Amino acid sequence: MPLRIDVITIFPDYFAPLQLSLMGKAQQSGLVTIAIHDLREFTSDRHRSVDDTPYGGGAGMVMTPEPWGQAIDAVVTDQSTLIVPTPAGKLFSQPVAAELAHSTHLIFACGRYEGIDQRVVEYYRPRIDVRELSIGDYVLAGGDVATLAMIEASVRLVPGVLGNPESLVEESHQLPGVEYPSYTKPPTWRGLDVPEVLLSGHHDQIARWRAEQSTIRTTHNRPDLLPGS
Ligand SMILES: Nc1nc2cc(Br)ccc2s1
């Protein structure tokens, strides 16, 4: 059963990259089907409006609930998971990507402006799995880029999508922390040599060096990922 993904957005063109490379191949292989829907197709006024001023005042505009209700109703089933990208959401992560990769149907609601009227989440929450997710502690101009990132991170974990599942095995055995640095040919480049141990053929020494490099890098770049932190 392929993973079905429906994306609802006011900027369908943002999702053209999903036709390329690994994501494009995943769709051609039939492992994943991705459909992009223009929210404005679900409006009913002459101006095809999707936003209005916020109750309670404040800057910016809020996306009105009805077009979202119409758009989500057009694709939802009892197997759907509705994902709402928002800076206020739980943090998306590799474990969440793995969960989404094993879903049946994902609906991404890409908000803009100050976000979507909260009643959309409130309406669907009793009916289907609803997840408000953020991709990091920074604010984008909309949920579209966050959705692209979450789709790519999840779809690559769908069994059969990655040509070489070995790389997933390595990832899953990744020590807590960040990955070691990688090198390839030439052995010397602009006077810089590849670390000798990597050319030695001593696999135990190479594994030890890589573990050390991972720890050094994690300590420097991501001490929050160190064990016991
Ligand atoms: N980090 C994130 N920023 C945003 C902004 C908007 Br507007 C909608 C969704 C997201 S997710």
The number of distinct structural domains making up the chain is 2
Burial group, residue 155, by CB count within 10 angstroms (0-12, 13-18, 19+)? buried
* pLDDT the model gives residue 206: 98
Q: Which of 163, 188, 209 is the last residue of a domain?
A: 163
What CATH number has the domain bearing residue 156? Answer: 3.40.1280.10
* pLDDT the model gives residue 173: 59
Beta bridge partners of 84: 132
Q: Is 61 in the pocket of ligand 1 (CB under 6 A)?
A: no
What CATH number has the domain bearing residue 206? Answer: 1.10.1270.20
Q: Is 146 in the pocket of ligand 1 (CB under 6 A)?
A: yes
pLDDT means per 10 residues, the chain with 229 residues, are 96 95 92 97 98 98 98 98 98 97 98 96 98 97 97 96 78 77 98 98 98 97 92
Within this chain, do residues 219 and 122 fall inside the same structural domain, yes or no? Answer: no
Residue 41 belongs to domain spanning: 3-163
Within this chain, do residues 114 and 197 fall inside the same structural domain, yes or no? Answer: no
Within this chain, do residues 176 and 68 fall inside the same structural domain, yes or no? Answer: no
How far is the C-alpha of 49 from the C-alpha of 58, rounded, in Å? 20
Q: Is 142 annotated as a binding residue?
A: no
Within this chain, do residues 112 and 10 fall inside the same structural domain, yes or no? Answer: yes
Q: Is 139 in the pocket of ligand 1 (CB under 6 A)?
A: yes
Within this chain, do residues 14 and 75 fall inside the same structural domain, yes or no? Answer: yes
Structural element, H or E, at residue 34 = strand 32-38
